[in-house]
Each structure stands twice: as structure tokens, then as C-alpha cells.
Amino acid sequence: MLTYLRQCVYNEEYKNGLRDFFTAVQENNIRSVIVDLRNNPGGNSLIANEFIRYLPTESYLTGASEVRFGSILRKNKPQSRKNQQLTPVFSGDVYVLTGADTFSSAMDFATLISDNKLGTVVGEIPGNMPSSYGDILYFQTPNARLVFTVSYKYFIRPDASKSDSPLIPDVTVPAKDALTETMRLIKKAR
């Protein structure tokens, strides 16, 4: 079953839609789900955590971060998060499609699945690095009224040993071919 995720919006509509999606997957005895993150600019990273709540994992590793507060740098260690499972639990195969236009929280979603070995990433390397600066503060100069931003947080992917690397898909194909290749993989696995 395929679901397109065009933006990472974490709200009741997403949570209800996800529950309905996994209920339909169970009712139809579907063994593979595909999450299409191509053309997704990001949004709220909590969407990935909510998705994982339907997977049969006891826990998963979240990334670390370094947060700057003036001269103070607070280092947050990676954590093993206990998965607070929701029903129905999906124990089939998860495929995540990526492209060069998969950014921010969408890239985080794919990285969380990949680094925790919860599914297969198919497509192209996303448009930004999994370990990178993010979360910004907005400023405006008092006289010229120029607006600028400064990042104050550095995110480190769950598998910190890969921090210097982009998210490399398990199966690398042009983004336009990712769905076709995933369907081929599913048919081959039957």
C-alpha cells in the first residue's frame, strides 16, 4: 500500500489518517507499505515517531543534538526511545522513497527508518545531510531593518558513526524510478 507524504505536518488529521491507513493495511492483509517522501520539503519531525509507533520494534535510537545558548553549548546524547506501540501493529516490509528534493524532517524520517534498520530506503540521496544545522532564530537589524537568521542547533543522526555521510539509500535509483523499482523489489520478494 502506498501513501504520499507531501509535507510533514504533525496534527490530529495526520494521526487519524495514519491509524486509518494501518487499519486498512491490516484489513486487506497487505505485507508491504511504501512511504513516498519525494518532493517533501519537511516540517515537523514528530511524524516519523508517530509512524514508528505502528511498527513491531520495542525501541529505537534517536539522534543527538548540540544546542547553543550564547556561550553555553548543551550536548544532548542520543537516546534509545521506548516505542509506545499503537494498534494495529504492522510487521511487514516498509519502503521509503527519497529524492534530491527530500528535505529536513522528511529526510529525518528516512534516516530514522534507515539508521534503525526498520525499512528499506529507495531512490536518491536526500537534499540535505542527516547531521546538520537546523532550528533558526530570526533577527532584524534596528536601522537598516535587514532580516537574517542564525542556526543554533546541530542535529546528529541516530547512527553517529555515519555523521559525515549523507543518507545513502539501500537501493539507489533516480527518484523518478523509485516507485517502479520498489514495486519490482516487492514482487521479487514474494
pLDDT tens digits along 135-168: 889 999 999 999 999 999 999 999 999 999 999 9
Could you please report the per-residue DSSP string of 36-57? E-TT---B-THHHHHHHTTSS-
Whether residue 3 has pLDDT greater than 80: no
Is CATH 3.10.129.10 correct for 2-62+80-128+165-189? no
The beta strand positions in the chain, using DSSP E, are 2-4, 32-36, 59-61, 64-69, 72-76, 80-82, 93-98, 120-123, 132-140, 147-156, 171-172
**Length in residues, the chain:** 190
Per residue in 83-116, pLDDT tens? 999 999 999 999 999 999 999 999 999 999 999 9
The domain segmentation of the chain, as residue ranges, is 2-62+80-128+165-189
> Structure pTM?
0.92
Alpha-carbon distance of 120 to 122, in angstroms, equals: 6
Residue 6 CA, distance from chain mean position: 12
